[in-house]
């Protein structure tokens, strides 16, 4: 950054301005560098392996269709749904905060139709966020679907260090299980249009 563009700013302040205007977020602190960057999730590819802490609350387990076991971790494939939509977010990302009401609206829209609710589940993964931070985001923005923490950036690195928010939809049953059919950074616009698009894409 050219300091002449921001006269009187210290280097630290200039760096902050650069971050705020550079677009997109990637967690609350810099992620450790990786020797080889993993590919970003793409349509037609398999979702990289993910391990998530198994939720303890009975209501969350019921929503995800998880059995009552002592299993400490789960994978997306353990979730009982035909379609799984994953939101990659960070509680510190202003774009994720702005998008939260739209995602909540999408969840409510899905749950309002029993047939669609039986087919589609939504989860969120907070990159660089602890379980405590994820809980703050969930409470502040009244998120009704399950959120998981990725505090050590393990999942973040495995999915190509994507900027947030990033949405991934996969087939979660049958021969195409784990196959990505939607992957895109940024908001999705109108909730009804997006839901219909997901249903249409899943049938192709």
Structural domains in the chain, CATH included, are 40-202 (3.40.30.10)
- 128-169 pLDDT, tens per residue? 999 999 999 999 999 999 999 999 999 999 999 999 999 999
Of 113, 122, 119, 118, the residue nearest 144 (C-alpha) = 122
The mean-pLDDT minimum among 5-9, 22-26, 139-143 falls in: 5-9
Cis, bond preceding 165 (omega within 30 deg of 0) = yes
DSSP string, 3-43: GGGSTT--HHHHHHHHHHHS--B--SSPPPP-SSPPPPP-T
- Confidence at residue 68, expressed as pLDDT on a 0 to 100 scale: 77
With a cut of 90, say whether residue 199 has pLDDT above it: yes
Quickly state the pLDDT bin for 32 (edges 50, 70, 90).
low
Residue 67's pLDDT is what? 84
Give the model's pLDDT for residue 21.
40
pLDDT exceeds 70 at position 13: no
55-104, pLDDT tens digit by residue?
A: 989 999 999 999 876 588 999 999 999 999 999 999 999 999 999 999 99
Whether the predicted pLDDT of 1 surpasses 60? no
Could you tell me the pTM of the whole model?
Answer: 0.83
- Give me the helices (H) in the chain, please: 11-21, 58-64, 94-111, 114-119, 131-140, 154-158, 191-202
């Amino acid at each position: 950054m050219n300091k002449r563009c921001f006269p009187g700013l210290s280097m630290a302040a200039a760096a902050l301005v650069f971050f705020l205007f550079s677009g997109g977020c990637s967690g609350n602190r810099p992620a450790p560098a990786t020797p080889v960057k993993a590919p970003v999730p793409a349509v037609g590819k398999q979702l990289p392996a993910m391990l998530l802490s198994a939720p303890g609350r009975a209501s969350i387990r019921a929503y995800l269709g998880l059995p009552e076991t002592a299993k400490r971790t789960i994978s997306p494939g353990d979730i009982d749904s035909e379609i799984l939509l994953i939101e990659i977010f960070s509680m510190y990302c202003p774009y994720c905060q702005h998008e939260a009401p739209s995602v909540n609206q999408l969840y409510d829209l899905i749950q309002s139709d029993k047939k669609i609710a039986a087919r589609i589940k939504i989860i969120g993964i907070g990159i660089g966020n602890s379980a405590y931070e994820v809980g703050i985001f969930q409470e502040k923005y009244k998120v009704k679907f399950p959120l998981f923490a990725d505090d050590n950036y393990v999942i973040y690195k495995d999915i190509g260090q994507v900027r947030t928010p990033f949405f991934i939809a996969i087939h979660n049953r049958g021969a195409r299980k784990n196959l990505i059919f939607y992957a895109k950074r940024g908001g999705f616009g109108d909730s009804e249009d997006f839901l219909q698009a997901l249903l249409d894409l899943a049938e192709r």
